[in-house]
């Protein structure tokens, strides 16, 4: 018999807001301006990680140019972050949060990004009060795809892995949830839809496709036969 779901743990980037496409598009434009291509496949090594793909080194390798990383970082992120600050919630996120509260479920965010980044956007979007537990890269020694962020969130929530659902968009995020023993639900966005998410326990197109009650029922049916 499976345990009842008591908590929903959200990834942040690409799951709550689409912060990934603006950054990728800004970098791709920069590569194209120098006659090089930054592929989605290459960028996928960056999504859901921190420091595991050096895009500056990749740029230098392809172009044969040495760059001022500080100058490029400021230029890239100034443009990308302006676009990210205008990003709304992804479809179905607010409805899922409200449904979780109605059902008495606990909520958390587990993100490889910094706490300042996540908390700043949650405040901008008026969501801070819904997430009493926020675990970001400062909280752990190892980020996704390692399980540490999810384990930290579970401990803070006071729930067991089998009592939680992870909502993720990236292969590394799904792997982190799996390694923590949390049921992983992959929700591909416009960028991560190109990636292999077949290791997720369940894949859905969007949070608007079904109610949270229906999603929980699907999760429990899937676990019951495995």
Tell me the β-bridge partners of 13: 17
Q: If phi over 0 gives left and psi between -120 and 50 gives alpha, with beta otherwise, what is residue 104?
A: left
- Which residues, 6 or more positions from 77, have their beta carbon under 8 angstroms from its beta carbon? 23
Distance, CA of 46 to CA of 25 (rounded, Å): 14
3-state secondary structure of 149: helix
Query: Is 11 part of the annotated catalytic residue set?
Result: yes
Query: Is 169 part of the annotated catalytic residue set?
Result: no
Two tokens, residue 18: 């689409």
Least Cα distance to 31 among 65, 70, 74 occurs for 65
**b/e map 119-157, b = 16+ CB within 10 Å:** bebbeebebeebbebbbbbebbeebbbbbbbbbbbbebb
Options 11, 18, 148, 169, the catalytic residue:
11
3-state secondary structure of 167: strand
Distance, CA of 169 to CA of 175 (rounded, Å): 11
The catalytic site residues sit at 11, 13
């Amino acid at each position: 018999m499976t345990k009842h779901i008591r908590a929903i743990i959200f990834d942040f980037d690409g799951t709550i807001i689409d912060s990934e496409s603006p950054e990728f598009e800004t970098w791709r434009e920069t590569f194209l301006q120098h006659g090089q291509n930054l592929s989605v496949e290459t960028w996928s090594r960056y999504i859901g990680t921190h420091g595991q793909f050096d895009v500056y080194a990749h740029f230098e390798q392809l172009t044969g140019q040495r760059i001022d990383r500080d100058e490029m970082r400021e230029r890239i992120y100034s443009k990308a972050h302006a676009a990210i600050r205008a990003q709304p919630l992804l479809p179905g996120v607010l409805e899922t949060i409200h449904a979780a509260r109605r059902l008495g479920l606990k909520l958390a965010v587990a993100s490889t990004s910094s706490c300042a980044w996540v908390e700043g956007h949650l405040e901008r979007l008026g969501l801070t009060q819904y997430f009493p537990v926020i675990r970001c890269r400062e909280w752990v020694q190892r980020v996704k795809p390692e399980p540490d962020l999810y384990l930290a969130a579970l401990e803070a929530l006071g729930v067991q892995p089998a009592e939680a659902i992870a909502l993720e968009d990236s292969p590394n995020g799904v792997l982190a949830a799996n390694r923590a023993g949390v049921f992983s639900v992959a929700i591909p966005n416009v960028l991560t839809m190109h990636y292999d998410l077949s290791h997720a326990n369940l894949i859905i197109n969007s949070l608007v496709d079904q109610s949270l009650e229906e999603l929980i029922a699907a999760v429990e049916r899937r676990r019951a036969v495995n």
